[in-house]
Structure formats: C-alpha cells, structure tokens
Chain A
Amino acid sequence: MQRIPILKMGPYLLVSIQVDMDDRTAMALQDDLMEQIVRHRARGVLIDISALDVVDSFIGRMLADTAAMARVLDADTVVVGMQPSVAITLVELGLALTGVRSALNIERGMDLLRSRIEGPGIADGHHEE
C-alpha cells in the first residue's frame, strides 16, 4: 500500500499529496498524521492537494475529519492549492468542508498557520521590545 510522506518543518508538518489516493491510503495518511503530530508536538499541519484533480466525498470527509482531529491534538490544519474545478465540484456535491481552513498556496498557508500559532507571541514580544 502506498504511503504519503509527511515532512517536519519546525513546529509544522507538511504533507504534499502527489498521487491519486485510494481510500485506504487516505485513511493511512490520516493515522500517520495524528501519530506525527503527537510525536513532534506539531502545532500546525499543511496539506497540499494541488496535485489532486478529484476530491470526492470520501477524500473531502477525510480532510475535514483530519482537521477536526488535529484540532483536538492542538494543531491547526490548512489545506492549500485546491484546484478551482475541485472546489466547484466539492460545493456542487454539497460538501462544504466546514472546519477546514484553506489557503490558495503554500506560502499563504504558512502565513496563516504562523499567524494562528505565533501571532499572540509575536505581539507580546513586540510589546516587550
């Protein structure tokens, strides 16, 4: 069975889905991510789905569930790079992906994560200066 690689980058985990996953691969990715979040005490997860041209209800549900679980483990999730056609299709399907933050690309996604996690700290530090 295929496994999707998870990269650690500072307090963040980076996942770039480059293949068309079957359902088991998707579920394995979800499990791996939770495990890595705990192991690395990750604060944020960035999932790049720019290579996916089909996100059906199962993958969509998986992404939403992953974000919810990570939230419980005190990590924020941002899904980045969703193709427009995929986004449209998801909406047409009736899948709103509520609870999943998204960003247009990795850069924006990282910014989003940083502001969410470090925002208050930076502000405080700024005040101390």
Chain B
Amino acid sequence: MTIGISSITLAHDHDLVAARQRARQIATTLGFDAQDQTRIATVVSETARNVIRYAKSGKIEFGIAPGDVALLVITVTDRGPGIADLEMILAGKYVSKSGMGIGITGARRLMDDFQITSSSDNGTTVRMSKIIPRRGGIRPDDIERISRELVRQTPQSPLDELADQNTHLLKALADLQDRQSELEGLNQELEDTNRGVLALYAELDEKAVSLRRADTLKTRFLSDMGHEFRTPVNSILALTRLLDEADLSAQARKQVSLIRRAAEDLESLLSDLLDLAKIEAGKVDVRETAFEVNNLFSALRGMLRPLLLNRSVALIFEDTEGFPPMVSDEGKISQILRNFISNALKFTEAGEIRVSASLSDDSRFVTFSVADTGIGIAPEDQERIFEEFTQIDGPLQRRQKGTGLGLPLTRKLAALLGGTVRVESLPGIGSTFFASLPVQVGDTGKMEEMPEGTRPESGRSNRILIIDDDETARYTLGSFASRPGIELFEAENGLDGIEVARREKPDLIMLDLMMPGIGGHEVLERLKDDPQTASIPVVMITSRFINEDERHQILGRASRVIYKGDLSRELVTSVIDEAVKG
C-alpha cells in the first residue's frame, strides 16, 4: 500500500526543476542522507526529463509505503508514445544524443527498486522506490505529519512567484474579459431598449394619428348628430309656438309652455354643442362690426336679468363710458360673457356678480372680467374646467345641470377672436373669469350683403311654394307663413316641387336644402335654369350648418338662406314680405 504525499504535473522545463527540488526536499524530510538525497533527486530529474522531452506531459507522484521497512515510492507516468527500444536502452546499448540512455540505465542503479513499463498505447510508467532509513519504520499516522511538514517547507522560488503572478494576471485578464462581456451585454441591452423605445415612439405616433382621427370623427359626429337632433327640436319649438297661438285651456297652455321651455333648453345645449363642433371644424366665421362696449353690456343686462332668480345675488355691470368702440364679433363676445355670467349665477349663492371691462395699456386689448363670490374652483381644477364635458364634483355642482360645454366654448370663441380666457379663483371666496380680446379683430370676415331678389308680380294673392320632404317642417313653415292673402303650395320632393313651380308660378319658393332624391342644390339649379321659373325668388331653408363657400354658392341663385332653428312667424312673414315687395 502506498500513500501519496505529493505530486507534480510535468509539462514545462521548470516543472523538471520543481520535480527534482521536491524530490530532494522529500528525501531530506524522510531522513535520507546527503548522498541518497542527491541520488533520488538525480533519478527524478532523469525520469521527469524523459516525460517532458518525449511525452510532452505527464506527472510524478511521491508516496510512502508504510511499514517496518517503509519505502519512498516515486511513480512517473505519461501518456506518450512509449519507449520503442526499451530493451536496448536497459541493456546499455543505446547511445542517446542528449545523454538520456545513460540516465535511465544509471537511474536503475541509484534506486533500490526500479521498474519501467512502456507501450505505445498506454505510455510509460516508471515506478521506483528506496527504503526509508528510519528506525522503526513509518506508520500510516506518521504520514500526515510528514505531509504537513512538507507543505510548510515548500519554498517559494522566484519561478513559483512568477507562476503565481502569472496566475493572478490570467485571473485579472479573465476578470477583464468578464467585465468586457458584461459591458457588451449591457450595451446589447441598451440597444434593445433603444429599439424598444423607437418602437414605442412609432406606436405613439400611430396612437396620435388615430387619436386625431377619433377627434375629427368626434367633431363630425357632434356636428352631424347636432343637426339630426336639431330638426326634431326645431319642430317641437315651432309647434309649441303655434300652440301658444291656439285657443287653449290654462292647463294646456301651462303644459305647452313647459314643453317649450324644455325644448328651448335642449336647443341651447344643441347650439353650444354645434358651436363647439363648428369651431373645431373651422366652420365659424367672425362677423366683424363696430360696437360700443356699453351697448354690449346693456344688451347683456337685459338678456340676463330674467335669469337672476336668487334675490341675494346682485348682477352688476360696471360703467364702461369712454371706451373706444370695438371692432369685433359682438355676438361672439356676448356669447362668451353670457357663458361666464350664467356660470357665475349657477355657482354663487349669495353676494354679487360683477361684470367689468378694462383696457390694456396700449389700448389694443379689452379684458372683460366676470367676478363672482361663489364657491370658487380648486387650483388643480382651474385648467380642467376649460376642457370639454368636465364638471367639477361638489354639492353645488351636482345641483346644477349643464353639459360642461360652456367654458370650452368660451375658450374656443376667444381664440377665434384672437384672444384668451383664463380664471383666477380661490375656493370658498369666488372666481373671476377673464377674457382678453383685441379691440380690433383681424380682418377675417365681412358683413354679409343681401342679394337683391327678383321682384315678384304683384296684384294678386301671394303664392308660396314649400318644398320639403319633412312633413312636420312643411306644416310648421306653412303655419308660420299662413295668413290672409297667402296661398300655400306644398311639394314633398324636389321633382314635385319643380313641377308645381312650373305649373303654379308661385311668388316665393321655400326650398329645403337636404332632401332625398334630388337635393336643394339641384332643385335650385333646375329652377333657375328654366326660363319659366328663373325669376321666382327662392329662400333656402336648412337645418344643416353651411360654410361660407356653400353659402356663396347658394346665394348666387337663392335670395336668402334661413336656418330652420331661426324660423318664427315674424321671420317668415318678413321674408315673404321682402320677397313679394322687393
């Protein structure tokens, strides 16, 4: 039994030195005398050299076979090609160029036992031993102590230090490589993230496009639905007006007035909605007139007084005497202030609402303000209230109805006039809404001129033709128009209308723009192209908003455009009178 105490891998020249030094050290430790130490070291040197020279690599193991007569056992193994002429070498007949042959044969003489086996398959193994000169031999227990002593003695040669440093360097290099690959990994990750961000950007772009599309759709929807709603609402309004004239019981009259008020509320909501939609669609024109702020205020005062139901709130318009006249769209400014004031009225339970105007230093802007002593608006909500359909949650707010369209509309209207709106507010103290508007609005619109309608023949009763596909509309219009001296004709589509016009030669044709089959435009075209009907004035009636181009196109041939929502007995009467009398 052999117990290993040390081993060395043999691959390089310096391993040879290490091996023979280790051999010497072990021999010393085990108590061999100087001569034997040299012998053992020399033998190890010879055999280890063989491994390095011929087999490139192998290993040397030192072991102890304990016992009463203990042995130092040295085994040198390699996986090389084997020694071809081992017999010759051992017989001392081989002459090596580097003195090797002598080495092996000599080695046999230096050790107590020397066995060498070699084959081309399994390489070469040299197993040699020498009796350890120690009285009483060596017990297995002693071997551990010997090993420890060996480790303690192992000298640190410069070469070992170099090898150590080399190892450290290699480790540092490996660390660096690790660090580098880590960096590369990070870089890769960053690139991936970058790509991700780019992809997100693209996605956001797409989202933005689809949002814009959705916004356009919303505007169109608002516009279209507004008009769809407006037709029946107009009908209800017109019919309730008619009913007002009828002979009704007090109770029925009350009911009719309630219906009418509800319809009016609905109509005002619809117009807010439509105004908003129109502005968003860029379909609103600024109608520029010169006016006095004072007049504007007094008109507003008249208009809003009736809304002031709460006695504990005072509505005060400050004096604006001496203001320069403004050149702007009075109607829109009035709309802005109405919105501000009705808002203030809604949220003020006691105190006052003060409407005032001030001129900027350079006299270019007028800032209208509506200050209330109401509930106020929390700072975080002050911007939000200008967004569509926003209503702040609160007890007073919940009591109030509204679409949340008023303030967004004021903002859009102000922008249209080249101005801005803003709010200053302290919750619990009150709010002040400001609208800063230019005194002179840009030359964006013109006063509309009324084209001269052709004069109808006189001397007989006035014959009116109503062309409209909607029965309610025909009925309403007919009712407004009907009075002594008026003869009414109705047609429910364009073709019939043209037919009746040719046959009856009416004094005035009231033509609906939107009709199934041939529409108002084409009917107007045909009427004007036909010499028989060309001279008959036509009033275009529409529930749909029409833009400036369309209006111009229509006014080229028709004498007037009237919105269905504006229809009233007075208007219809004046239109008829105008057309008939010229």
Task: Spell out A's residues near B (CB within 8 Å).
Answer: 20-24, 53-58, 60-61, 83-86, 88-89, 92-95
Contact = CB atoms under 8 A, between A and B. Distances in A.
B103 interface: yes
B286 to A, nearest CB: 98
Contacts of A53: 24, 34, 37-38, 41
A85 B106 contact: no
Given A20-B17, A92-B110, A95-B102, A58 B37 contact: no
Contacts of B39: 85, 89, 92
Nearest to B103: A57
Interface of B: 13-14, 16-17, 20-21, 24, 34-35, 37-39, 41-42, 45-46, 49, 92, 98-100, 102-103, 105-107, 109-110
A93 B49 contact: no
B180 to A, nearest CB: 32
A54 B20 contact: yes
B46 A57 contact: yes
B107 A61 contact: no
B42 A55 contact: yes
A56 B45 contact: yes
Contact of B17 (A21, A86, A88, A95): A21
Chain A: interface secondary structure? helix
Contacts of B21: 20
14 contacts: A20-B21, A22-B13, A54-B20, A58-B45, A58-B98, A61-B98, A85-B39, A89-B35, A92-B109, A93-B102, A93-B110, A94-B102, A94-B106, A94-B109
A85 B109 contact: no
Could you say which of A20, A55, A57 has the most chain B C-beta atoms within 10 Å of its C-beta? A57
B58 to A, nearest CB: 16
B16 A22 contact: yes
Contacts of A55: 42
Given A22-B17, A56-B103, 17 more contacts: A20-B20, A20-B21, A21-B17, A22-B14, A23-B49, A24-B13, A54-B42, A56-B49, A57-B99, A57-B106, A58-B100, A58-B103, A85-B35, A85-B38, A88-B35, A88-B38, A93-B103
A58 B49 contact: yes
A21 B49 CA distance: 13
A22 B10 CA distance: 13
Contact of A57 (B16, B38, B102): B102
Ranked nearest first, the 6 interchain pairs of A and B with the lowest CB-CB distance are A93-B106, A61-B99, A85-B38, A56-B45, A22-B13, A57-B103
Nearest to B15: A22
Contacts of B49: 23, 56, 58
Contacts of B37: 53, 85
Nearest to A93: B106
Contacts of B20: 20, 54, 56
A58 B99 contact: yes
A23 B34 CA distance: 23
Contacts of B42: 54-56, 89, 93
Contacts of B110: 89, 92-93
